[in-house]
Amino acid sequence: MNDYANIWLHRLKWTYLLLVVLTLMTPVIYVMYISFNANGFGANEYVFTMEWYGLIFSDELLIGALRWTLMLAVVVTVVTVPMALLAAKYYKAADNKLFPVFLLLAPLFVPPDILGSALLVFFKNLNFAFIWFGDQMRTSLFDSWFRLSFLTATIGLIIYTIPYSFVVILITMGRYRPEQTEAARACGANGWRAFWDIEFPQIRAGVFSACSFTVILVFNEYTRTSLLKGGFDTFTTVLISQMLNTGMSEQSYAMSALVSFIAIAVIGSIILATMLRAETLSRVARAKAEPVMS
Amino acid sequence: MTDQKAPAVDVRNLSKHYGDFVALRDVNVTIAAGEYFVLLGPSGGGKTTLLRTIGGFHKPTTGEILLNGQSVGHLPPDKRPTTMVFQAYALFPHMTVTQNVGYGLKVAGLPKDEIAEKVDYALEQVGLSQFTHRKPHELSGGQQQRVQLARAIVLDRDILLLDEPLAALDAQLRKDMCLELKHLQEKVGITFIHVTHNQEEAMTVADRIALIANGNLIECGNARDIYRAPDKAFTASFVGENNMLRGKVSEANGTSVIVDVAGSKLTVDKRGLSVRDGQEVDLSIRSECVALDPVNGTNTPADGVSIVGSFHESVYLGLTTSHMVRLPDETEMVSRVIADSDDSLPAAGAPVRLSWKPSDIRLHVD
């Protein structure tokens, strides 16, 4: 706030900001609140308990779904983020930027139901084609390549998450000066070494943010996953299935709250660490900036 | 194997095209080992393209580059005997000064103690021994450029390329750094190729200067010749403060020609150039070689080394004063003198005579 700003306008801005955050977080806080109620959702009486958290790990359905979700998240992140990084590097170097950015962001503009159904039909036909090809070759080697499975869900999620990762990495890359890569090359580093020693440390925050974002997106995604997953369940498909059929179990509330706690703790720690580091660096810079007598 | 007698850089028939745009056109230049060579020219003329092509950051469209006698067209920047200092933003911001300077040595796989020793020596050379643990953002612009220099010279490469290394610095710092660069080059003895659009910077550091404009190498020579005796009209118009006059040859016999300029007949040394009667030519005279006198009854008549015009105005520039004179054809000429007294200035519009020594005016036919 500068010296001439209106104090009430300043307070109004902060109130607005807090209201936005509260609106966004209230449903999550409500789920956390229910997760500690011994009588579950909708009960007249609220009795605090930690029991549901203890029961999470005995709920085979939830733990199995969580395991599949984590596996999907890891595989999708490992594939998506390097692909997005390469795409961002290509984009930065490209003369015509409109075409690559259109290609990369196009999946964002296709509604999830349509993209999921399109991929479902595509994989089914691809599966038939592979089976036919195997039959011609008199082998069953190609029979299950594109049957709905972990692979098809992974491909669907990669298509879904790449645009987000690309944008997140590109934002961090925007501040990177290509002269530094050239300077590294002039110092004798080959292309990979220049990237690893000079560029990567400066875009690392973007790459890690893209990883976190991809994991969250995989946890969050329902439509494409449910259409392409084959014979296993993810955390979201279990929760939505429960809500549509019997209502969420108390363990599910506890699991949702636990995942939210972990996500908030991780993101909060990153923000806190970044702020503390910035403060330390600025203190060191101020100390060093004292004139050196020579 | 490196040819010890070969020039440090030999550029042969080099052209560089970007689609329809021609950045360099059939450039030929040879730079001797240990020479401080400056590529001078206006922005967008192609000098940085030439430098970056020598450094391996651009591939030539046609032509060849030989470094120490070896063709290097197929080699990337890290495999060439060159290193480079950039205009700005090229220090690694996440590394300290020591780490920046030692980076190339680390890449080369040298032992840590040897790296430390070489880095200390390089930082001493550029006067930054007390800033070793600072990050680039904790240094001034001049200090950052010194770190770049140290990072380049520590590698002991044969050729150092400098791409407008002083352009981001203020005027005084640029002057100081110019001299430092020159002294550093004399100390380390390697070939420096320095790109700049600033002629004062070029004159301060260069053994030889190549003038580049519109993708062409216009002229190449030692700094004094480029300034005092430019061969091409473009060189005269770009380097120094030259009066450029356009005229028509009225007589071209023997060793001199007579050129009609704004109603006066000027005598100019032919310099062995081929000219014919009626040909349009350019003449150049450095403004500091032009004397200004009021026209009165005692003035000698037209003598081939003077021209009459009307006084326009004077501009005080500190060390010098520039007197502007309009010729009858509206061409403006400048007489620059080391004086700051305006007591005896003619009135605006008064007739004046501008004169010079016969050897100060030059003929250009390009």
Q: A181 CB near a chain B CB, below 8 Å?
A: no
- Return the number of CB contacts < 8 Å for A and B: 77
CA distance B152 to B190: 11
Q: How far is B151 from chain A (nearest CA, A)?
A: 8
Question: Which of A31-35, A281-285, B71-75, B285-289 is least confident?
Answer: A281-285
Model confidence at B94: pLDDT above 90:
yes
pLDDT on residue A274: 80
Quick check: B137 and A289 CB within 8 A? Answer: no
Facing residue for A183 by CB, picked from B86, B135, B137: B86
Model confidence at A30: pLDDT above 80:
yes
Same domain, B44 and B16: yes
Same domain, B221 and B318: no
CA distance A262 to A275: 20
Domains in chain B, number: 2
Percent of chain B scoring above 70 in pLDDT: 96
Quick check: B89 and A179 CB within 8 A? Answer: yes
Domain containing B167 equals 9-228
More confident residue, A247 or B69: B69
Please say whether the beta carbons of B353 and B365 come within 8 A: no
CA distance B249 to B355: 20
Residues in A touching B99 (Cβ below 8 Å) = none
Residues in A touching B82 (Cβ below 8 Å) = 186
Facing residue for B108 by CB, picked from A179, A188, A288: A188
Nearest residue in A to B58, CA atom: A182
Q: CB under 8 Å to A96, separation ≥6 — which residues?
A: none
Q: Mind spelling out the 3-state secondary structure of A110-159?
A: CCHHHHHHHHHHHHHHHHHHHHHHHHHCCCCCCCCCCCCCHHHHHHHHHH
Quick check: A186 and B107 CB within 8 A? Answer: no
Six-digit token pair at B315?
């501009």
Six-digit token pair at A238?
């279990």
The domain spanning residue B22 has which CATH number? Answer: 3.40.50.300
Q: Is A217 among the domain residues?
A: yes
Model confidence at A145: pLDDT above 50:
yes
Domains in chain A, number: 1
Six-digit token pair at B41?
């020219």
Quick check: A198 and B138 CB within 8 A? Answer: no
Judged by phi (left if over 0) then psi (alpha if -120 to 50, else beta), residue B160 lies in beta
Nearest residue in B to A193, CA atom: B107
Quick check: B138 and A186 CB within 8 A? Answer: no
Domain containing A102 equals 61-248
Q: Average pLDDT over chain A, rounded to whole?
A: 88
The domain spanning residue A119 has which CATH number? Answer: 1.10.3720.10
Same domain, B223 and B252: no
Q: Is A182 among the domain residues?
A: yes
Q: Is B129 among the domain residues?
A: yes
Same domain, B176 and B246: no
Q: Is A269 among the domain residues?
A: no
What does the pLDDT look like over A67-104, one tens digit per residue? 999 999 999 999 999 999 999 999 998 888 888 888 88
Q: Is B285 among the domain residues?
A: yes
Same domain, B88 and B222: yes
Q: Is B1 among the domain residues?
A: no
pLDDT on residue B301: 58
CA distance B156 to B340: 49
pTM for the full predicted model: 0.81
Q: A289 CB near a chain B CB, below 8 Å?
A: yes
Facing residue for A182 by CB, picked from B57, B88, B104: B57
Facing residue for A177 by CB, picked from B89, B94, B155: B89
Q: Is B315 among the domain residues?
A: yes
More confident residue, A4 or B23: B23
Quick check: B131 and A292 CB within 8 A? Answer: yes
Quick check: B78 and A289 CB within 8 A? Answer: no
Facing residue for A288 by CB, picked from B82, B94, B138: B138
Same domain, B324 and B201: no
Facing residue for B151 by CB, picked from A187, A202, A285: A187
pLDDT on residue A108: 86
Same domain, B103 and B137: yes
Question: Which of A37-41, B77-81, B115-119, B199-203 is least confident?
Answer: A37-41
Given B178, B202, B228, which residue is the final one in a domain?
Answer: B228
Q: What confidence category does residue B27 fall into, taking pLDDT thresholds of 50, 70 and 90? A: very high
Please say whether the beta carbons of B29 and B47 come within 8 A: no
Given B182, B200, B228, which residue is the final one in a domain?
Answer: B228
CA distance A112 to A126: 20
| Beta sheet of B242-253, edge-to-edge order | B264-269, B256-261, B242-253, B280-286, B361-364
Residues in B touching A96 (Cβ below 8 Å) = none
pLDDT on residue A291: 47
CA distance B227 to B286: 9
Q: Is A103 among the domain residues?
A: yes
Facing residue for A189 by CB, picked from B78, B87, B89: B78
Given B199, B228, B257, which residue is the final one in a domain?
Answer: B228
Q: What confidence category does residue A237 fall into, taking pLDDT thresholds of 50, 70 and 90? A: confident
Same domain, B62 and B205: yes
Q: Is A85 among the domain residues?
A: yes
What does the pLDDT look like over B311-362, one tens digit per residue? 999 998 888 899 999 999 999 999 999 876 666 788 888 999 999 999 999 9
Same domain, B137 and B263: no
Strands B208-213 and B361-364: unpaired
Q: How far is A273 from chain B (nearest CA, A)?
A: 18
Q: A103 CB near a chain B CB, below 8 Å?
A: no
Q: Is B235 among the domain residues?
A: no
Q: Is B36 among the domain residues?
A: yes
Q: CB under 8 Å to A90, separation ≥6 — which residues?
A: A100
Q: What confidence category does residue A292 fall into, taking pLDDT thresholds of 50, 70 and 90? A: very low
CA distance A261 to A29: 10
pLDDT on residue B159: 96
Mutate to test the interface with A, among B84, B132, B145, B149 (most CBs of A within 10 A): B84
Same domain, B177 and B258: no
What does the pLDDT look like over B138-165, one tens digit per residue? 898 889 999 999 999 999 999 999 999 9
Place of tokens 């007197």: B323
- Secondary structure letter of residue A248 according to DSSP: -
Facing residue for B78 by CB, picked from A190, A202, A292: A190
Same domain, B140 and B27: yes
pLDDT mean over A160-169: 94
Q: Is B2 among the domain residues?
A: no
Please say whether the beta carbons of B31 and B161 come within 8 A: no
Q: How many CB atoms lie within 10 A of CB B72?
A: 20
Nearest residue in B to A198, CA atom: B92
According to DSSP H, which parts of chain A are helical? 7-35, 51-56, 60-93, 98-105, 112-136, 150-173, 178-186, 191-194, 200-220, 223-228, 235-245, 250-288
Model confidence at A54: pLDDT above 90:
no
CA distance B161 to B11: 15
CA distance A193 to B312: 62
Question: Which of A21-30, B3-12, B231-240, B305-314 is least confident?
Answer: B3-12
Single-letter amino acid code for the residue at A182: E
CA distance B71 to B57: 15
Q: Is A111 among the domain residues?
A: yes
The domain spanning residue B257 has which CATH number? Answer: 2.40.50.100
pLDDT on residue B88: 81
CA distance B259 to A105: 67
Same domain, B217 and B271: no
Q: CB under 8 Å to B197, separation ≥6 — which residues?
A: B40, B41, B42, B43, B47, B164, B167
CA distance A154 to A132: 24
Mutate to test the interface with B, among A95, A179, A187 (most CBs of B within 10 A): A187
Q: How many CB atoms lie within 10 A of CB A133?
A: 14
Quick check: B90 and A182 CB within 8 A? Answer: yes
Residue B173's alpha-carbon distances to B104, B168, B169, in angstroms, are 27, 10, 6
DSSP structure string for B242-305: EEEEEEEEEEEETTEEEEEETTEEEEEE-TT----TT-EEEEEEEGGG-EEEE--TTS----SS
Q: Is B81 among the domain residues?
A: yes
What does the pLDDT look like over B270-308, one tens digit per residue? 988 999 899 999 999 999 999 998 887 655 556 778 999
Question: Which of A109-113, A243-247, B83-87 is least confident?
Answer: A243-247
Q: Is A148 among the domain residues?
A: yes
Q: What confidence category does residue A144 fall into, taking pLDDT thresholds of 50, 70 and 90? A: confident
Please say whether the beta carbons of B336 and B288 come within 8 A: yes
